[in-house]
C-alpha cells in the first residue's frame, strides 16, 4: 500500500500548503470549499462549526450578577 500512503502524503502536503495560502491571502470559506473535494469541504465546514460551538459564550459586562 505504499501508493496509497504516497497519495495520502501528497494530499496532506497540498492541504497544508493551501491552508498557508488561505491565511496569507485571506481566502474565504467558499474558496476553501471549492478547492477541496466535496467530502473535504464538508469536513472543513463541520470543523469550523464545531470549533465555534465549543467556544464559551461571552457574557455582556452589564449582565453579570455581582458576587456576595
What pLDDT sits at residue 58? 66
CA distance 52 to 33: 18
- Compute the residue count for the chain: 68
Q: Grid cell 456576595 — which residue?
A: 68
Tens digit of each residue's pLDDT, the chain (68 residues): 566 678 888 888 888 887 888 889 898 878 877 877 888 878 888 888 888 888 776 666 665 555 55
CA nearest neighbour of 16 among 36, 30, 34, 38: 36
Cell of 42: 464538508
What pLDDT sits at residue 62? 60
Cell of 52: 465555534
**What is the model's pTM?**
0.40
What pLDDT sits at residue 17? 86
What pLDDT sits at residue 66? 54
27 contacts 21 by C-beta, under 8 angstroms: yes
Amino acid at each position: 500500500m505504499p501508493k496509497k500512503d504516497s497519495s495520502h502524503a501528497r494530499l496532506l502536503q497540498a492541504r497544508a500548503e493551501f491552508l498557508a495560502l488561505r491565511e496569507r491571502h485571506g481566502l474565504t470559506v467558499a474558496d476553501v470549499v471549492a478547492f477541496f473535494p466535496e467530502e473535504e469541504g464538508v469536513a472543513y465546514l463541520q470543523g469550523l462549526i464545531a470549533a465555534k460551538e465549543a467556544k464559551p459564550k461571552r457574557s455582556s459586562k452589564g449582565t453579570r450578577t455581582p458576587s456576595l
